Chain A
Amino acid sequence: MSYDRILNTTAAWLLALFWLLPLAYAIWTAFHPAAFETRFEPLAPLTLQNFVQAWSEAPFARYFLNTMILVTGIVAAQFTLCTLAAFAFARFEFRGKGLMFALVLMQLLIMPDILIVENYRTMSQLGLIDTIAAIGLPYVASAFGIFLLRQTFMTVPKELDDAARVEGCSYLGILWRVYIPLAKPTFLAYGLVSVSHHWNNFVWPLIVTNSVETRPLTVGLSIFAVTDSGIQWSVINAATLMTSGPLLIAFLLFQRQFVQSFMRAGIK
């Protein structure tokens, strides 16, 4: 092994270890009694009590439901909207197409956090403050999604489009029967990114929600962590593992497809 290779491998292991450390600590504290929060004895007794306690102390079931509704809603709306927009940009000629696409791309350059105040004002005008819809709405017209799908659709050979037209497909029929099936890897990649992003999103939901019925997991977790007098790491970490668990498991299960779909979708 060359010197270069050794250096690379060591660095990779170090980074992985560094990244894993908080997770490892969370797992340690979550499965041990509070007394072992800072004492790392290999033979310390294992317990699930922290999970039971966390689950009973805050309405996590409701938070889970909220997050599920939020994430599926956003992804469904994004898929619909971005697919239609991308199809229009990829295959139709219309007035102002260039300008409109430039505007879409501009959205990619703007940090969403800058728009928090403006978004709040819009949601309040729509009377949507403290609803799940308000959390998702600002993200539905995703420039990233439109751009990604447009790029994918443009790689579909024109002759397939023609063949479907000769066979009697309408435009929506062509989209449904030809473009969408061929863009499956892109949809998968984009869907996974979107799910994980909105599952973990914190600042915007924190601002726009203020009741148990609407709060997603992230906000619920943070409130749970501060309101508890005297911070109990074991319970907080049990709750943290609970809330991030589904995503972690999903990623581990889909790891290969996830990485492959990104390679195929051509995103680095």
Chain B
Amino acid sequence: MTTGKSIMLRGLRKAWGETVSLKGIDLTIPEGKFTTILGPSGCGKSTTLRIIAGLEEVSAGTVEIGGEDVTSRPASGRDIAMVFQSYALFPHLSVAENIIFGLRVRRMGRAERDAKLTAAADMLGLSYLLDRKPSQLSGGQQQRVALGRAIVAEKSIFLMDEPLSNLDAKLRAEMREEIRDLQKRLGVTMVYVTHDQVEAVTMADQIVLMNQGEIEQIGSPRQIYSRPETLFTAKFIGTPPMGTCSARALGIARDDITVGIRPEALVLDQNGPIRARVGHVEYLGADAMVECRVGDETLPCRISGRTELTLGATIRLSVARDDLHAFDSASGQRLDTLPPEFAALSAAQTTAPLGSHASSTER
């Protein structure tokens, strides 16, 4: 049907009076790929999307779509379709009229319009609902109508602003697959804004993680999970997120380093170099989350649900060298090479870990 176009943002800034919501965004979104913009609320992800859409003006910087500078072009001239968080269905129009709204605006002939409507309605399973009003539809059906409106527009880029946040958990999982599938089938470039990391990780080819108006990291879900570039990324991605503590708590004489270890990378090991006391244990069935107290700090550890630990007991833990992440405490940036002091932590790992988690470090 359509082929995607790439999007390039250069030096994007946006300020509302005193408040700066975007502090210089440089981003390339490859064509035909699924990119999610992820971040906590207020990080500027929706603003970025609205700027790409042309619904918001930039304070500085440029937006290029398919190699053309579209910074001053209106939304309708940017070859984009958009799905909104509230779906933005027109309450006074039927499902059919909502889907062909844009085609009517563009004065497309009736025959062509009807053909597109039928095709989109079949694709989304909406054919029997065409005469209903949006208020007579369930949330999932409304979502489909919004997708239908985007599909018939036959644009190269789909922009989605938290489209699943109003659905219940089961429906959300279904729609995730459906949207991913749709993107593959149509071959469009998808830009998908969400604050839900599960959505980002399961759907995206590329994740753009944002925080406080800046990009923290760009990468595939795997890269972002296994090699977080900043402390923020480390603590944002993963459920539960990466545990962090000061280097000193692990017996390393460096005050400028924060250590991050994923809960599943920390394993019980009789000869392990890390000594810890067992804090709160949360039993989850297949596994259990243990709060391991090292010094005055805690590291979460995921162990097999069968292992029983008593509160206050002393345990020893080890971690593979590749699973150790070191960050500069002041800047939060990842240290590319582990300082020599860390050799002690992984060298002592002699015996095979109890309960292997090696396979789950990269999900």
Contacts and interface: CB of A to CB of B under 8 A. Distances in A.
Interface in A148-202: 157, 159-160, 162-169, 173, 177-178, 181-182, 184
B74 interface: yes
Contacts of A181: 90, 92-93
Interface stretch (B59-67, B99-107, B229-237, B321-329): B99-107
A264 to B, nearest CB: 13
B153 A160 contact: no
Contacts of B53: 162, 166
Contacts of B93: 181
A240 B76 CA distance: 57
Contacts, number: 59
Contacts of B75: 162, 165-166
A159 B92 contact: no
A157 B88 contact: yes
B345 interface: no
Interface residues of B, number: 24
Nearest to A159: B88
A168 B76 contact: yes
A167 B102 contact: yes
A159 to B, nearest CB: 4
A117 B253 CA distance: 92
A167 B92 CA distance: 17
B70 to A, nearest CB: 13
A184 B86 CA distance: 22
Contacts of B101: 164, 167, 177
A163 B84 CA distance: 8
Nearest to B74: A165
A167 B153 contact: yes
B85 interface: yes
Interface in B63-99: 74-76, 80-82, 84-86, 88, 90-93
B86 A165 contact: no
Given A173-B105, A177-B105, A166 B82 contact: yes
Nearest to A184: B92
B73 to A, nearest CB: 12
B68 to A, nearest CB: 18
B55 interface: yes
A167 B93 CA distance: 15
B288 to A, nearest CB: 44
Contact of B85 (A159, A160, A164, A168): A159
B86 A159 contact: yes
A164 B85 CA distance: 15
Nearest to A169: B105
Nearest to B101: A167
Contacts of A182: 90-92
Interface string A198-232: 00000000000000000000000000000000000
B86 A166 contact: no
A164 B90 CA distance: 9
Nearest to A161: B88
A167 B105 CA distance: 7
Contacts of A160: 88, 90
Interface of B: 50, 53-55, 74-76, 80-82, 84-86, 88, 90-93, 101-102, 105-106, 149, 153
Given A159-B85, A166-B76, A168-B106, 11 more contacts: A157-B86, A162-B82, A163-B84, A165-B75, A166-B55, A166-B75, A167-B102, A169-B105, A182-B91, A182-B92, A184-B92
13 contacts: A157-B86, A159-B84, A160-B88, A160-B90, A162-B50, A162-B82, A162-B84, A166-B76, A167-B105, A167-B149, A181-B90, A181-B93, A182-B91
Query: 7 tightest A-B contacts by CB?
Result: A167-B102, A168-B76, A163-B88, A159-B88, A181-B92, A159-B84, A166-B75
